Amino acid sequence: MPRSCADAGPWEPFMGYVRGLQCRECKAEYPPVRLAVCESCFGSLEVRYEIDAVRGAFRRDVFGDRPATLWRYRELLPVFDDQAIVDLAAGYTPLRRARNLGDAVHVRELWIKDDTVNPTYSFKDRPVAVAIAKAREWSLPAVGCASTGNLAAATAAAAAKARIPCYVFAPASLEPAKLLLPQLYGGIVIPVDGTYDDANRVAFQVADQRGWGFVNINLRPYYAEGSKALLFETWEQLGFRLPDVIVAPLGSGLLLTSLEKGYRELSELGQAPDGAPRLVGSQPAGCAPIVRGFESADGRPKPVRKPDTIVESLAIGDPGSGFEAVQSIRGTHGFADAPTDAEILEGVRLLAREEGVFSEPAGGTTVATLKRAREDGRIDRDERVVLLVTGNGLKTPAVWGDAFPPLVPVPPTLAAVDAYLGGRVHG
């Protein structure tokens, strides 16, 4: 039976609907405890809900009276104690109709799910919100993460609000701004001499030794639940319809896996009669282990020892949810794609110039993949397409380097301005 929980404030009193954890591979079930992998087969675990109980509360007519955050879908988030929630107002970000970009890439109905406006300017605020709540429920002494940048800021910010010590393990080679942000929030950064996978490995050892809650390691099944709100929001913002195609960046693979889980839950609730959107994953060519896994018969990611890409947030050579991401792509009849860094930067420019949205390179991967897929017919002109733009471009200024010529000072006279503008004047 569902477990009781504290009053949920602006919505009706909440009852916890979590059934427990279930292994994606062998289907073994566990109670909703602090467990990261299946004890029988070491498969990944996911949270399962009492769907029949959820059905009576997860209703379209109630969402409008709930907060404009991911917590509006409270019945399908695995937090029992509302007092544990640290709400920085993550989620329910704009779904923008992208007519200009749609014209440029020849898609009739194109939308941008704009997560650049989250509290720390990336989608990582979503899963972190759930993971930190679980850490508080379990009274863990500290939290942390292994990160390529965005997760570091999100974890440190939420930990600051929760007044929990935070430890961030990240490659020392990251762009300085991404190592600065978690420190500003009060986090302790451990700059690891190595790749993300090296940072992740030592973070796992530290979390295990000290009993800390690392959001994307030993809190991972709960952490994953926050990202599926992207699917719920898109469904609600499109008038309780799902798009034909969702294009998402691929790092660890967990985002895309969470989207597929969100669809499964909507389907179990009878809220997705038109079927699943095709899930399309995009990964830079210089670090594309999931794409190569999708292309192979066994579906297993092909690890990359030394990622070679400007897209730091996706430079994960051995993705923890890569196999599950391939399963999600195949299960929805989607595909995976690996644009070059040059195509990705062009995607960022195109998005900025056509829609006024400045994305970090991870968002440029989705634009680049859409453009490539329109050119070769993998995505049809008449499909309703949603691009996930997962992080703000202001966090990665260094990638632009010498992309623009240096600005030369202009004397403050009309003649000098006219000479400087030359033939570039409009009107």
Q: With beta carbons less than 8 A apart as the criterion, state whether 122 and 358 touch.
A: no
| Distance separating alpha carbons of residues 179 and 1, to the nearest angstrom | 44
Contact 256, 282 (CB under 8 A): no
* C-alpha distance from residue 51 to each of 123, 221, 342 (Å): 26, 18, 45
pLDDT digits (tens, 9 = 90+) for 345-369: 999 999 999 999 999 999 999 999 9
Ordered by where they begin, the domains of the chain are: 95-120+225-400 (3.40.50.1100)
Distance CA 102, CA 96 (A): 12
**Region class of 395: left (phi > 0), else alpha (psi between -120 and 50), else beta:** alpha
Give me the half-sphere count of Cα atoms (radius 13 Å) on the Cβ side of residue 395: 30
Sign of CA dihedral 273, 367, 328, 47: negative
Closest CA to 347 of 310, 319, 382: 310
DSSP per position, 368-391: HHHHHHHHHTSS-TTSEEEEEE-B
DSSP symbols for 319-370: -TTHHHHHHHHHHTT-EEE---HHHHHHHHHHHHHHHS--B-HHHHHHHHHH
**pLDDT given at position 175:** 84
> Residue 90: how many CB atoms within 10 A of its CB?
28
Q: Give the whole-angstrom CA distance, residue 310 versus residue 150.
A: 15
Number of neighbouring beta carbons within 10 Å of residue 36: 21
Q: For residue 284, give the nearest of 220, 329, 345 by alpha carbon.
A: 345
Where does residue 118 rank: exposed (0-12), middle (13-18), buried (19+ CB within 10 A)?
buried
Q: What is the pLDDT of residues 105-134, one digit of tens each?
A: 999 999 999 999 999 999 999 999 999 999
Q: Using alpha carbons, select from 19, 89, 18, 11 the residue that is nearest to residue 57.
A: 11
pLDDT under 70: residue ranges of the chain: 1-15, 423, 425-427
Number of helices (H) and strands (E) in the chain: give both, helices first: 15, 15
Residue 204: what are its φ and ψ, rounded to 5°? -60, -45
Q: 200-230 pLDDT, tens per residue? A: 999 999 998 999 999 999 999 999 999 999 9
At 423 the pLDDT is 67
Which pTM does this prediction carry?
0.92
**From CA 88, how far away is CA 119, in angstroms rounded?**
6
pLDDT for res 264: 97
Tokens representing residue 407 in the block? 């600005």
Q: What are all long-range contacts of 237-243, with beta carbons under 8 Å and residues at least 24 apart? A: 237/95, 238/95, 238/111, 238/384, 240/60, 240/271, 241/274, 242/266, 242/272, 242/274, 242/275, 242/276, 242/277, 243/111, 243/277, 243/383, 243/384, 243/385, 243/386
Q: Could you tell me which of 258, 265, 309 has the C-alpha nearest to residue 279?
A: 258
